[in-house]
Amino acid sequence: MNFDVITLGETMLRLTPPGFQRLEQATTFDIHIGGSESNTAVGLARLGRTVAWLSRLPSNSLGRTVAATIGRFQVDVSHVVWTDRDRLGTYYLEHGKPPRASQVLYDRSNSAMSRMQPDNLPTTLFQPHRARLFHTTGITLGISKSAEATALRAAELAKAAGWLVSFDVNYRGKLWSTAEAQPSCLQLMQLADLVFLPIRDAQSVFNIDDANSEIIINRVGAIAPNSTVVLTLGAMGAMARTADGKLFYQAAFPSTDVERLGSGDAFSAGFLSGYLEFEDIATALRWGAATASIKHTIPGDLPLVHRHEVESLMASASPTDIAR
């Protein structure tokens, strides 16, 4: 089977107290799974792309739950590497409301994915006809040295196979410092046709001391001269800059928050799906913004949007009535 997109990354068990409780108040946890690259994979599959997700998982009930949940949403998980030895990364998410920030307590050290090696990559998969695009994020680079080497190798193999390479900087301050992240991300950005990054990552990881988004995206463009750069601006929408310096802007669609986690990944899924289908930056930005906007209304990390919802939102930005 061949794929439109192959993503690589870590997916963790996510445990969340219900109803805005603090972790210290909880007597039950809601169980979700969360991982930037599998979130994007699920979103791509919902929008009609064929997708596979690569990772390394422990062969226990928790690892199987991760694979089954992703597989349930039509993402191929048959190339996942299984191990008897390591653990599944876990994180605890406490939902806050302003001024109480949502809190993430990571318990991800020594996970199976953090010990994935370049040798674990299914090299027969990295052939020209097997896929069109490879996607990973800076989280995978920051997990461990071996995960970083694996992601770089995968990007190189993808490039060599003639696929597009897509990279989301996705800086996580609890994983590594900006000083550590910068050189690592730069390496991957040199291979990437598409680079996604939120404006705050542009500022912090690449020391861009400016608040003007146009200046910022041009500065990132200078660092990644062969890439199309996509800068997400939160409530302000998103911008793109092609390698030849052309700028595109897309406003955010109005939205209501049920859960913000995973909206960046939903954006990438929408952008990549639109990009692969229509090969047009403006259209891709619009798909990204619409997909992210709908994701905000869905509990959990996964962008369980329907393609017709995205299309209908793009056709009419105003929320529809109850359909009955």
Position 162 contacts its own copies (CB under 8 A): no
Nearest to residue 35, comparing CAs of 166, 172, 148, 152? 172
Any bridge partners for residue 134, and if so which?
Answer: 6, 165
Select 24 or 244, whichever has its Cβ closest to its own copies: 24
- Decide: is 79 part of the binding site for its own copies (CB under 8 A): no
Phi, psi of 270 (to 5 degrees): -65, -45
- As a whole number of angstroms, the distance between CA 238 and CA 198 comes to 9
- Closer Cβ to its own copies, 102 or 146, answer by number: 102
Residues contacting 311, CB < 8 A, separation 6+: none
Q: Which of 107, 276, 292 is nearest to 198 (CA)?
A: 292
Minimum gap (Å) between residue 167 Cβ and its own copies:
19
Q: Which of residues 188-217 bind its own copies (CB under 8 A)?
A: 200
Listed in sequence order, the residues at least 6 apart from 150 whose beta carbon sits closer than 8 Å to its beta carbon are 8, 116, 117, 118, 120, 121, 140
Give the SS3 label for residue 89.
Answer: coil
**Closer CB to its own copies, residue 227 or residue 250?**
250
Which of 80, 239, 300, 301 contacts its own copies by CB under 8 A?
Answer: 300
Q: Which of 2, 48, 109, 119 binds its own copies (CB under 8 A)?
A: 109
Work out whether 15 is an interface residue with its own copies (CB under 8 A): yes
- Least distance to its own copies, CB of residue 258, Å: 5
The correct pick among 2, 68, 212, 214 for binding its own copies (CB under 8 A) is: 68
3-state class (DSSP) for residue 91: strand
In angstroms, the CA 231 to CA 216 distance is 9
Q: Which residue lies nearer to its own copies by CB, 41 or 164? A: 41
Residue 97 sits in the site that holds its own copies (CB under 8 A): yes
Q: Considering the rule CB under 8 A, would residue 84 count as an interface residue with its own copies? A: no
Smallest CA-to-CA distance from 176 within 221, 223, 204, 139 is with 139
Distance CA 255, CA 89 (A): 31
Stretch that binds its own copies, among 113-121, 167-175, 209-217, 277-285 (CB under 8 A): 167-175
Answer yes or no: are the C-beta atoms of 152 and 183 closer than 8 Å: no
Taking CB under 8 A as the criterion, which residues in 256-295 touch its own copies? 256-258, 260-261, 293-294
Residue 222: which H helix or E strand, with range?
A: helix 213-223
Q: Which is nearer to its own copies, 7 or 170 (CB)?
A: 170
Does 177 engage in binding with its own copies (CB under 8 A)? Answer: no
Interatomic CA distance for residues 67 and 42, integer angstroms: 12
Active-site residue, from 193, 201, 265, 301: 265
Q: In the numeric block, which tokens belong to residue 309?
A: 């919802």
Query: Do residues 82 and 63 lie in contact, with contact meaning Cβ atoms separated by under 8 Å?
Result: yes
Q: How far is the CB of 215 from its own copies (least distance, A)?
A: 22
Cα separation, 308 vs 305, in Å, equals: 9
Please indicate whether residue 265 is annotated as part of the active site. yes
What residues between 224 and 263 interact with its own copies by CB under 8 A? 253-258, 260-261
179 or 323: whose CB is closer to its own copies? 323
Pick the piece of the chain touching its own copies (CB under 8 A) from 93-101, 115-123, 222-230, 267-275. Answer: 93-101
Q: Among 96-104, 130-138, 266-274, 279-287, which window interacts with its own copies (CB under 8 A)?
A: 96-104
Work out whether 105 is an interface residue with its own copies (CB under 8 A): yes
Catalytic residue annotation: 265
